[in-house]
Copies of this chain bind each other. A is one copy, B any other.
């Protein structure tokens, strides 16, 4: 699968229900996992290789928020929305942890497009984002509402 190479900016009217976009890959390593967790999720199974072995994960695992943050980075590189990629809300599931050495990539599908009634220049696009590991298993599933804008006249 090739990453999406379309160039932006993308306007509201450029998007269609069912559109599918694919990101490039991002490899997670243990140092990054520990550094993120020390700052934002300081729990032994995210910060300490030895302590993680005795945890329910059995080995060092990335914070779910790290998986979410890397997903955002891949999305920013993949979806060049006009005025930027601005999320209003998101529902996230973490069916499996991310581990050192995992190569994450993102598949993003447009589920729904709702033009705004009160603000005709914008709309809300609902997208499903799957963050997959190298063997295609989802590490994160996400349904997100993002803003999109029409091309200025």
Q: How many identical chains are in the complex?
A: 2
Which chain B positions have C-beta within 8 A of A90? Answer: 91-92
A85 at the interface (CB under 8 A from B): yes
Chain A residues engaging chain B, CB cutoff 8 angstroms: 39-45, 55-56, 63-65, 68-70, 72-73, 76, 83-94
Q: What are 15 pairs between A and B in contact, CB < 8 Å? A: A39-B73, A41-B72, A41-B76, A42-B76, A43-B76, A64-B87, A65-B68, A65-B72, A87-B94, A88-B94, A89-B92, A89-B93, A90-B91, A91-B91, A92-B92
Residue of B with least CB distance to A147: B56
Residue of B with least CB distance to A45: B84
**Once the chains bind, are A55 and B84 in contact (CB under 8 Å)?**
yes
Which chain B positions have C-beta within 8 A of A76? Answer: 41-43
Known: A40-B69, A43-B85. 16 other contacts (CB 8 A): A39-B73, A40-B73, A41-B69, A41-B76, A43-B76, A55-B84, A56-B83, A63-B72, A65-B65, A68-B68, A69-B69, A89-B92, A89-B93, A89-B94, A90-B91, A90-B92
